[in-house]
């Protein structure tokens, strides 16, 4: 499953700061991310749907987050 978000996260460094928190939702070996800096699209490839958890995490860090289909 790939979760795709339009977000205000601007750099991979910002996503790396979130990594320990994402690891609490999903073990590190079960996910990876891709951030296209130009369009602020964050893709998280996982084995299951964690959309709501990721949206809540991004919102807690005050990043805008919109799920894309």
Domain architecture of the chain: domains with CATH: 2-68 (3.30.70.100)
Instruction: Say what the pTM is.
Output: 0.63
Residue 29 has what pLDDT? 66
Q: Which residues of 38-67 are buried (b: 16+ CB within 10 A; e: fewer)?
A: eebebebebeeebbeebbebbeeeebebee
DSSP-based three-state secondary structure for 55: helix
pLDDT tens digits, one per residue of 10-67: 777 887 788 788 788 777 666 767 776 666 777 777 766 777 888 888 888 888 888 8
CA dist 24 and 10 (Å) reads 22
């Amino acid at each position: 499953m790939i979760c795709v978000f339009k977000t205000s996260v601007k750099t991979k460094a910002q996503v790396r700061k979130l990594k320990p928190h994402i690891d609490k939702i999903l073990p590190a070996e079960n996910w990876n991310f891709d951030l296209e800096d130009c369009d602020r699209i964050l893709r998280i490839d996982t084995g299951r749907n964690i959309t709501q958890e990721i949206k809540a995490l991004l919102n807690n860090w005050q990043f805008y987050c919109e799920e894309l289909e």
